[in-house]
Amino acid sequence: MAVASGMPSDDPEIRSERAYLAAARAALRRMHRDVVSTETQLTAAAEDNDNYAERFYQRLAREKRALALTDLPDVPLFFGRLDLDPGTVHPLDPGNAARSDARDRAPEAERVYIGRRHVHDGAGEPLVIDWRAPVSTAFYRATRDDRRGVRLRRRYGFSGAAELTAYEDEPLTGDGAGDAGAADAFLAAEIERPRSGPMRDIVATIQPEQDDLVRAPLERTVCVQGAPGTGKTAVGLHRVAYLLYTERDRLGRTGVAVVGPNRSFLAYIRRVLPALGEVDVTQTTVAELLGRAPGGHREDDPVARLKGDGRMAAVLHRALWLHVTRPTEGLVYTKGSYRHRVPDHEVSEIVAALRGTMRYGPGRTAAAKRIAHAVLVQMERRGESPDDRTHGAVARSQPVRRLLDRVWPKVTPEQVLFRLLSDAGFLARAARSDLTSEEQALLLWPKPARSWRSARWSASDAALLDELADLIERTPSIGHVVLDEAQDLSPMQCRAVGRRCATGSMTVLGDIAQATGPGAVGEWPELLRHLGKPEARLEVLDRGYRVPAQIIDYAARLLPEIAPGLGAPVSARRSPGALRVTELPPDGLPGAVVRTCRECLEGEGSVGVIAADAGIAAIHERLLAGGLAARSLDEDENALEEARLVCVPASLAKGLEFDTVVLVEPARIVAAETRGLHRLYVALTRAVSSLHVLHAEPLPTALAAGP
């Protein structure tokens, strides 16, 4: 059966399927109208109503429901159909079965259409079943050996405007029926559909090994090691949608976040969840999640690596608690003509008993209460009967606050870190034997700012500040975090992300071979330990969907050097002429880049020009001068959405993909940073159809032997 290849529109089967699609669309419009029209109008009078807040949240919830029911004109409403054995969905009424048998007619197969959301007709009968519903699992998992009640699986092909143009049947019963190759052809057609704009969902073609991860229960933290293009990001996003469907109440209260490496990556994936009907998921970067935007200070790799090291946790812990000191004098609390005294040794005992038993901030509050209690005991001895109000007033009184400012001072994370990075003596006391003297020297700022207020913090400082903030006050935890490109995080960044779902679970996605962060952990068990999820199950995805075999084999030549423990990925497809490597004289390179891009633009789909960060602006200018409408991701995170030809600095290429990639001067990418070969591996694995490598300088040894 043809695959999405425009069957004649007078084909009766196509006509009937189109009519069904039109009916489903009309039903969705009606569902949307119903939600909108039942909206409670908030009038001025309602402002005074006690229930205002409640009604406000009801309206918000309704608006979200309405948004989720909006028909996206370019997204097909269903993508598959299952014809099932009778009784698979609705249990057979024995009476009916007997009657139909009596009429000597086999009971009719049940039929369900599978789509991105549930659609029902006016009487509540389902027209389209959500892909996340239990009955839809068979669409992804049924095989001839394990039919799960499926007689026939039908997949649909659509035009760019979501018009149904074709279908392909895969019968799972009968002799010789079922063309296994048809499913693969369908998958290949889906992958090779030219890209324009941001990432698409893969809901019509989720593969069994991916489905297993998507539908893993919420309680389980899943960690996926996957070669480039094996669908990790896709799996993570579909898992969010699945969990929100099955655990909406729980996650609605506790929240879900998708954490990606940078803004351009988030811009690239931002359409997937809305297309799956989920409009309410936080998508953020690690820096944003920490809520402390780095102040633009860049530091050398060895410093960043040390600041990211897990040993810093103990150093910070000590640095904070060094602020709690032994009292040299006690408390004198005057009330009327009486002076109540709490001697220094008693304050000392109170502080010692609390120190380290709870977080720093609540510890100070508890110390104030206990000191106040000691004052109240004296009041009682004098025959007074102080109550809770007196207790609170004493705890908040100036003498108690002054005493605590000396022995348990209020501090901010910035004050503590500033002191640690600018005061060698203090650092030595906090570091003890955890850091060598050379390491301590490396940590100290060569020219400290005048005060913590004017300090400029780096990205690795942000994780240290976050650690301190959590030692002072507990960080709230959310229900589930999907952490993409996790391989790049330092131990301290892992701790920062992990504490945000300390009581929730995670989906951790990444590829050790693509680890480019200077302090990257380098192996999963340790990384999971730093995330606080040592029990997570490690799963491996090695079937690559994005990159054709010729390209992945070429890139995999770097693996023995960059990730010796990892097996080579296997590509799900080959693509003729996928790889071209061209050596040029140095003065011929810029012209060749323009010519190659022009040639690529004659074909379909997106074109990404990837080069070392330092060279990307010059390439961009050259392309513009050559009359090509190129945009640079460096300057503009929406470039992917709005242009076919995009210049990509190598440091922003991670997670992205293009139909064609023009990779310029690999040696420069390698030379630009400590983990340059890892960065090159990332850049080499971004192409869906073809990769053109253009170089004047020698290629890294592993690639030099030719394609």
Ligand X SMILES: Nc1ncnc2c1ncn2[C@@H]1O[C@H](COP(=O)(O)OP(=O)(O)OP(=O)(O)O)[C@@H](O)[C@H]1O
Select the residue interacting with ligand X from 77, 191, 213, 214 (CB under 6 A). Answer: 191
Query: Taking a C-beta distance cutoff of 8 angstroms, is the pair 657, 263 a contact?
Result: no
CB of 230 to ligand X, least distance (A): 4
Query: Taking a C-beta distance cutoff of 8 angstroms, is the pair 27, 121 a contact?
Result: yes
227 a known binding residue?
A: yes
* Nearer residue to ligand X within complex by CB, 461 or 488: 488
* Nearer residue to ligand X within complex by CB, 205 or 606: 205
575 counts as binding ligand X under rule CB under 6 A? no
* Nearer residue to ligand X within complex by CB, 596 or 689: 689
CB of 229 to ligand X, least distance (A): 4
* Nearer residue to ligand X within complex by CB, 274 or 588: 274
CB of 657 to ligand X, least distance (A): 6
| DSSP 3-state of 384 | coil
CB of 212 to ligand X, least distance (A): 12
- How many whole angstroms separate alpha carbon 528 and alpha carbon 526? 5
CB count in 10 Å sphere of residue 288: 17
* Nearer residue to ligand X within complex by CB, 226 or 413: 226
Q: Are strands 119-120 and 126-130 parallel, antiparallel or unpaired?
A: antiparallel
- How many whole angstroms separate alpha carbon 517 and alpha carbon 301? 9
CB of 667 to ligand X, least distance (A): 22
* Sole window of 203-211, 283-291, 658-666, 672-680 interacting with ligand X (rule: CB under 6 A): 203-211
365 a known binding residue?
A: no
* Nearer residue to ligand X within complex by CB, 207 or 550: 207
- How many whole angstroms separate alpha carbon 148 and alpha carbon 164? 27
CB of 114 to ligand X, least distance (A): 15
**If 0-12 CB within 10 Å is exposed, 13-18 middle and 19+ buried, where does residue 629 land?**
exposed
* Nearer residue to ligand X within complex by CB, 114 or 696: 114
CB of 700 to ligand X, least distance (A): 20
Residue (of 537, 476, 546) closest to 508 by Cα position: 537
Select the residue interacting with ligand X from 255, 260, 277, 655 (CB under 6 A). Answer: 655
Query: Taking a C-beta distance cutoff of 8 angstroms, is the pair 221, 482 a contact?
Result: no
CB count in 10 Å sphere of residue 667: 17
* Sole window of 28-36, 184-192, 550-558, 604-612 interacting with ligand X (rule: CB under 6 A): 184-192
229 a known binding residue?
A: yes
CB of 232 to ligand X, least distance (A): 3
Site string for ligand X, 508-547 (x = CB under 6 A): ---x---------------------------------xx-
* Sole window of 71-79, 186-194, 320-328, 387-395 interacting with ligand X (rule: CB under 6 A): 186-194
| DSSP 3-state of 456 | coil
* Nearer residue to ligand X within complex by CB, 414 or 511: 511
Select the residue interacting with ligand X from 75, 166, 187, 497 (CB under 6 A). Answer: 187
231 counts as binding ligand X under rule CB under 6 A? yes
Query: Taking a C-beta distance cutoff of 8 angstroms, is the pair 257, 289 a contact?
Result: yes
Instruction: Return the ∠ at Cα 114 (arms to 112 and 115), rounded to 5°.
Output: 145
38 a known binding residue?
A: no
* Nearer residue to ligand X within complex by CB, 312 or 536: 536
413 counts as binding ligand X under rule CB under 6 A? no
Query: Taking a C-beta distance cutoff of 8 angstroms, is the pair 386, 380 a contact?
Result: yes
What is the 8-class DSSP label of residue 582?
Answer: E
Site string for ligand X, 470-509 (x = CB under 6 A): ----------------------------------------
* Sole window of 115-123, 231-239, 247-255, 523-531 interacting with ligand X (rule: CB under 6 A): 231-239
76 counts as binding ligand X under rule CB under 6 A? no
- How many whole angstroms separate alpha carbon 658 and alpha carbon 631? 14
CB of 244 to ligand X, least distance (A): 19
User: How many Cα atoms are found within 13 Å in the side-chain-facing hemisphere of 203?
Assistant: 30
233 a known binding residue?
A: yes
H or E stretch at 338: strand 338-342
* Nearer residue to ligand X within complex by CB, 27 or 191: 191
CB of 189 to ligand X, least distance (A): 10
Select the residue interacting with ligand X from 234, 275, 312, 607 (CB under 6 A). Answer: 234
**What's 46-75 look like in SS3?**
HHHCCCHHHHHHHHHHHHHHHHHCCCCCCC
689 counts as binding ligand X under rule CB under 6 A? no
CB of 262 to ligand X, least distance (A): 13
232 a known binding residue?
A: yes
* Nearer residue to ligand X within complex by CB, 439 or 523: 523
Interface with ligand X in residues 211-230 (CB under 6 A): 226, 228-230
Backbone angles phi and psi of 706, in degrees to 5: 85, 165
- How many whole angstroms separate alpha carbon 571 and alpha carbon 550? 9
- How many whole angstroms separate alpha carbon 1 and alpha carbon 14? 13
556 counts as binding ligand X under rule CB under 6 A? no
What is the 8-class DSSP label of residue 481?
Answer: E
What is the 8-class DSSP label of residue 538?
Answer: E
User: Which residues touch 692 (CB under 8 Å, ≥6 apart)?
Assistant: 580, 581, 582, 596, 600, 660, 661, 662, 663
230 a known binding residue?
A: yes
Structure-derived torsion over alpha carbons of residues 621, 626, 628, 633, reported in degrees to the nearest 10: -20
232 counts as binding ligand X under rule CB under 6 A? yes
207 counts as binding ligand X under rule CB under 6 A? yes
413 a known binding residue?
A: no
* Nearer residue to ligand X within complex by CB, 223 or 407: 223
Which position's Cβ is nearest ligand X? 231
H or E stretch at 185: helix 180-192
| DSSP 3-state of 139 | helix
- Token couple for 18: 């189109």
Query: Dihedral of CA 106/110/111/114: which sign?
Result: negative
205 counts as binding ligand X under rule CB under 6 A? yes
Contacts with ligand X by CB under 6 A: the residue count is 22
What is the 8-class DSSP label of residue 479?
Answer: S
Select the residue interacting with ligand X from 83, 130, 190, 309 (CB under 6 A). Answer: 190
- How many whole angstroms separate alpha carbon 460 and alpha carbon 307? 6
- Token couple for 314: 């103990």
Select the residue interacting with ligand X from 88, 136, 210, 596 (CB under 6 A). Answer: 210
- How many whole angstroms separate alpha carbon 665 and alpha carbon 698? 9
CB of 231 to ligand X, least distance (A): 3
CB of 544 to ligand X, least distance (A): 8
Backbone angles phi and psi of 32, in degrees to 5: -65, -45
What is the 8-class DSSP label of residue 136?
Answer: G
Site string for ligand X, 130-169 (x = CB under 6 A): ----------------------------------------
605 counts as binding ligand X under rule CB under 6 A? no
* 340, β-bridge pairs: 333
571 counts as binding ligand X under rule CB under 6 A? no
- Token couple for 7: 């069957």
Contact positions vs ligand X (CB under 6 A): 187, 190-191, 202, 205-207, 210, 226, 228-234, 511, 545-546, 655, 657, 685
Q: Which residues are annotated as a binding site for ATP?
A: 226-233
Q: Which residues are annotated as a binding site?
A: 226-233
